[in-house]
Structure 1
Amino acid sequence: MLKKIAIVGPESTGKSTLTQQLARHYQTLWVAEYARYYCEHLTRDCTLQDEINMFHGQIALEDSIVAIAEKDFIFCDITVLTVKIFCDDVFGGTPQMVLDAVKSKKYDLYLLMDIDLPWQNDPLRGSAGRRGHFMEVWKKELEGLNANYRIISGIEDRLINAIETVDTFLQSH
């Protein structure tokens, strides 16, 4: 069975960088964050329909990587849970199809990125002063799913801490 390890958390916590570093370290595939590609080309504010489009895009991208994976595990830079968290915050609720997918799309391990990295400005980010809030939201959502998750901290040793966590997980599974 292919194992999926999701890298999740608030904005500007090193998710994309860490996902790629882990994939290189373990010589396996990784699923990119579809929303980044999508939003880079938006010329207006993001709508609920855009979130639904990103939801479908993320699932399609993940499914395509799963289909060609040759190793026993892959890394996923975010999950559809990110869409739920964003929709709840911005639109006050989440479409049922997203809620259903959050429950049905399983990940074997979540690496929840801590907010201990300095904020990096990016035109696609907007919650610099709310990372603490979103860290608590992520914990609550993962606990609500009874998810297997570990918080990954560290500025200089973040990658080492993530590798140790993944190694421990892989050895026990």
Structure 2
Amino acid sequence: MIQVCFHGAESTGKSVLADRLRKRFGWPWVPEYGRSFCETMGLELTMDDLLEIAEGHDRAVRGAALLQPQVLVLDTDPLMTAAWAQMLFDAVPEALLAYPKADLYLLFEPDVPWVADGTRFFGTEEKRARFAAIAEDMLVRAGVPYRRIAGAWPFREAQAVAAIEEALRRAGANAPAR
């Protein structure tokens, strides 16, 4: 099993692509825990909320991993929550960096139109660029392997599938039929 985390700024297609890959290949995905948290608890986040979000997401990943799918797609993870902490509070608790890391991170560029959905914070071009830079910095800081995902929607899907298939080959697993 490989774990692939979709990472990056808001409104870049992470959740949509995770669902598309689930439908296309049958790869399960762990939805973004922070979204459901904000839908339930509201958008006035504290650092304690971010720590709770990271723990909830990690719990969900551990549960999904018990099924041992060939590919487990994570719609963000605690490392992305660390980017949120940096963006919102200009600080990153070490606890957010201590969680297990995915085998591959796909960094989604903010080069597609912003879509407000009621749970998003950073809709200006300047804030999106800053958040994207912080998200990438977290990947570099953690020393994890990542690939950039950019361009129009069909290109994003093709890039993601190619990166996942390459990771599967490196892991010695059979890549799925396209």
Above 0.5 in TM-score?
Answer: yes
C-alpha displacement of 1:43: 4.2
RMSD: 1.6
Task: Give the match for residue 6 of structure 1.
Answer: 5
Q: Which amino acid counterpart does residue 30 of structure 2 have in structure 1?
A: V
Partner of 1:160: 158
Residues 32 and 110 (structure 1), Cα distance of their counterparts in 2 relative to 1, 3 Å cut: same
Deviations 1:135-172 (A, max 9, x none): 22222221222211111112142212211222222223
Work out whether 1:148 is the aligned partner of 2:152: no
Q: Normalising to structure 1: TM-score of the pair?
A: 0.89
2: CA distance, partners of 1:45 / 1:111: 28
* 1: CA distance, partners of 2:42 / 2:128: 25
Q: Match of 1:124?
A: 119
> How does the TM-score come out when normalised to structure 2?
0.87
**Is residue 2:132 matched to residue 1:135?**
yes
Cα distance, 1:26 vs structure 2: 2.1
Aligned pairs, how many? 168
Alpha-carbon deviations, 1:67-97, whole Å to 9, x = none?
A: 123x222110001012111112212323332
- Which structure 2 segments of 5+ residues have no match? 172-178
Single out whichever of 10-19 and 36-45 deviates more from structure 2.
Answer: 36-45
- Alignment partner, residue 97 of structure 1: 95
Offset at residue 51 of structure 1 (A): 1.3
Q: Pick closer, same or farther for the CA change 1:117–1:144 going to 2, 3 Å.
A: same
Contact 1:23 1:30 in 2 (8 A): yes
Question: What letter corresponds to residue 81 of structure 1 in structure 2?
Answer: L
